[in-house]
Structure formats: structure tokens, C-alpha cells
Amino acid sequence: MLNILLTALLIFVSGNQAPSGQICPGDLIFEDTFDELNLKKWQHELTLGGGGNWEFELYSNNRTNSYVQDGILHIKPTLLADETGEDFLYHGTLDINGGTPVDQCTNAQWYGCERTGGPDGILNPIKSARVRTVDSFSFKYGRVDVRAKLPGGDWLWPVDSTLHFGPNYNYNRYEYAHFEKNNAGGYDTNFHTYGMLWSQIVCSFYVDEEVIGTVTPPAGGFGNWSFIFILNLAVGGVNYFPDNANNPGGKPWLNDSPKASTDFWEGRDQWLPTWHLGTDDSHLQVDHIRVWAL
């Protein structure tokens, strides 16, 4: 089925890393094999906002949290307290409004640019990274391959995404474009290829060439929107992890608790050993991303 659909239709690209001139079916229109961390392709987000889920990480542009090693992009979670001391989480203030464009906060929503910690709501205890192609590449229609190894560890959730919101959250169609496939060995033990084929007539999602879900457009098509890439590693939050989650150590916070971040941090004896800090087990690792025209 995938080979037949590759004979398809139109593609639209934009951005300072997008190809110029005529594009033909089958052309490779975006590629990163991560020989380096190309900051012209990937723009870091800097925010404390928690992605609208009150997640427990802050996103920074720091080579401790995002770097390339041996042709692999690593997005690595670290503990803020290792840099600032634990008392800072409870009493400190983080102001990430930088002076230069590359250091400026990218999302002020949900107190995303400045926060002060307190015992009922400590500062984001985890540092991580979120990179995107917002300036460099966006596309409409194509085939995407992302070869990645997902992180192992409690409450870590990686994203290699084009997002499903459309222009804003009110257009969220998560329930229509969300599919799952279990792997007995876990997706954190080996690299797998995650893909999407997006044409005017169908959008299919696959893992290691096995189609796991397909969406057909409503009348009028999928909409006239292009999408960017986002790669990030989030931690916890008050959505997507149910309070009755089946986990050997339980879940140290409740989703409706006003002190969820505090409870998460104070329950670190449960989750921190599962991250295997000192190894790359807790990292999101990306070998390559490729997009072909249809």
C-alpha cells in the first residue's frame, strides 16, 4: 500500500532549509543524520511552561541536555538541583528572559518565562530540551521516517511530532490521530523507525514499516496547514499519566494536586533509580529524520 501511495500528489515546503526549485515525487526534501547539532535546522525552545500539561521539566538551550555524539542526537534529562542546590527549588526564582534572540523565552504561557518556587509548588525540577524546525522547515504532504531509540525510565515521555492541534489547541484532533503498538521488549532497548505517510487522500502511521493506523480526511480535506517537526523529552505532568497508572513504585503525585511538582520531586526515590543516570538509558536518541516528496 505504501509503495502505491508514493506515486501521489502535491507537496508544499517552506523555511530556510527547504529545497528550492522544482520538486519531483520521491525527492528527499529534508534530512538530518546528526553529524552535528545544526542550529540552523533546529531551534531550541526556552520555557518553563510545561507544554500545557504542567509538566515538570524546563526547556533550555544547553549542550548538557541536547547534543550530538557518534551521529546520534541525544536529548537528556538532568536535575536542576544538581546545578542550583535543592533549596533553590523551594525558594528561588527562575527568569529565562535572555538578552539575545537565541536566549529569549519562547513561550510565556503558563508562567513560562519566570517562576518562583514555594513548598506548594517548587520550580521545575528537571532540565531537558525541545527543538523544532519552526524557522527552517515546514511541509504539507510527504513521507517521513524517524529512526529513534526512546528513553527508559519512569514518567519520561519523548515526542517526535508534527503536532495534531492545527493552528491552536481548539483544533486538537488527538483522539483521531493517536495510535498505539506495544513492543514486548520495549522501544527503549533498540532503535526503531517511526513513520508517517501524508497525502491528500490518506495519512498513515507506521512503526518499522508496519502500518498501525490510518486517517482519511473529512470532506474538504485535512486543512490547509503545513507542519513543523518537534523533538523533545518531557517529564510527568497532570495529563496522560492516570493516577491509577500500573507502576511498581506507584505514582508519587495526583493529577489534581496543586503541589504535583513538589510531590513528584519528593518521591524521587521511586523514579530516579529507573533513569539510570550516568548511562544514556534515559535519553531520547535520534539517528536520523528524512522527508520525501510524494
Cell of 240: 496522560
Give the pLDDT confidence score for residue 1 in this predicted structure.
Answer: 27
What is the spatial distance between Cα 42 and Cα 20, in angstroms, rounded to a whole number?
A: 19
SS3 content of the chain, % helix, strand, coil (to 5): 15, 30, 55
pLDDT tens readout for residues 179-200: 777 787 889 999 999 999 999 9
Give the pLDDT confidence score for residue 248 in this predicted structure.
Answer: 84
Q: Please tell me the pTM assigned to this model.
A: 0.91
Give the pLDDT confidence score for residue 185 in this predicted structure.
Answer: 82
What is the spatial distance between Cα 146 and Cα 42, in angstroms, rounded to a whole number?
A: 15
3-class DSSP state of 169: helix
Write out the DSSP string of 86-139. Answer: HHHHHH-EEE---SSGGGS-S--TTT-SEEE-BTTB----EEE-EEE-TTT-EE
Write down the domain spans for the chain.
2-292
What is the spatial distance between Cα 35 and Cα 30, in angstroms, rounded to a whole number?
A: 15
Cell of 36: 552535528
Burial class of residue 237, CB neighbours in 10 A (0-12, 13-18, 19+): buried
pLDDT tens readout for residues 161-174: 555 555 555 655 55
Under-50 pLDDT residues of the chain: 1-9
Give the pLDDT confidence score for residue 166 in this predicted structure.
Answer: 54
Nearest to 149 by CA among 162, 160, 135, 134: 160
Q: Which residues pair with 122 in a beta bridge?
A: none
Give the pLDDT confidence score for residue 2 in this predicted structure.
Answer: 30
For strands 57-59 and 126-128, give the pairing.
parallel
Give the pLDDT confidence score for residue 175 in this predicted structure.
Answer: 59
Nearest to 188 by CA among 113, 276, 288: 276
Give the pLDDT confidence score for residue 225 in this predicted structure.
Answer: 81
| Fold adopted by 2-292 | Jelly Rolls (2.60.120)
Question: Is 45:38 a contact under the CB 8 Å cutoff?
Answer: no
